Amino acid sequence: MREREHSGIFSSMRKLALLVFALAMAVPCRTQSIQELFGADPGPLLQEAYRQQAEYEARLARERAKRAKGDWLGELTGAVLAPKQDERCVLAVVAARLGVALPAGEPPAVYRASRVILEDYQSYYYSEFGIQETPRAVATLYCPSNNVIFLDDSAKSYGPGRGVDGALAGQYALYLQHRVLGRAPGSAQAQAVAAEVAAWFQTAYTARKASACR
């Protein structure tokens, strides 16, 4: 992936910059030795690394601002699914379904895939699971360490009578099991309960077009 390659390039450049700085601090009177080591004055290399990093971060900032506005065309055509339920009400009915009280503190922040950039999702993913693989799309995911939920809101990810609200219910089930019952979100038991809650919510609310706030 090009963005991942860019991240690797910039990471290498930053390592190079740190190496140059460390050498310069270790042997401040041997500048010529550093130039011989790199075959050139490292100054321009550092400047280029900083310039490319600044350009990369500026591009990400522009993409974030664009995504934050939402994919109104996708929602209009039905390619992107918008939530129909109030998040607080979904959390409340899921807690009731599990027979647990809502934990103290803020519930997870919820980010829709159509409104976040892949690079930010990857950063959360790596902080949770390490660099085991490189996600190529924003998927539905609960990140307990960061108290964040990502929701895949692409219509092609859901069948008839299903939607993002049911997916959110499943992720809230993982959150409540983790915070209240002490279950690891990735455990087979937690995942099975989350799947059952998601299916229940789809049947009880999404398919019937009923409000979870009643």
**Residue 211 located in a structural domain:** no
H helix or E strand, kind and range, residue 111:
strand 109-112
**Residue 212 located in a structural domain:** no
Whether residues 198 and 94 share a domain: the answer is yes
Where among 40, 69, 98 does a domain terminate? 69
Interval 1-14: pLDDT, tens:
434 434 443 344 44
**Residue 127 located in a structural domain:** yes
Higher pLDDT, 87 or 65: 87
Average pLDDT, the chain: 84
Rounded mean pLDDT, 25-49: 61
- What's residue 53's pLDDT? 86
State how far the Cα of 89 lies from the Cα of 95, in Å rounded to an integer: 10
Whether residues 27 and 95 share a domain: the answer is no
**Residue 62 located in a structural domain:** yes
Domain holding 47, by residue range, is 2-69
Where among 18, 51, 69 does a domain terminate? 69
Buried residues in 103-138 as b, exposed as e (16+ CB within 10 A) = eeeebbebbbbbbbbbbbbbebbeebeeeeeebeeb
- The closest alpha carbon to 100, from 181, 42, 188, 10, belongs to 181
Q: How many domains does the chain have?
A: 2
How would you classify the pairing of strands 148-151 and 141-143? antiparallel
State how far the Cα of 124 lies from the Cα of 127, in Å rounded to an integer: 5
pTM of the model: 0.74
Interval 134-178: pLDDT, tens:
899 999 999 999 999 999 999 999 988 789 999 999 999 999 999
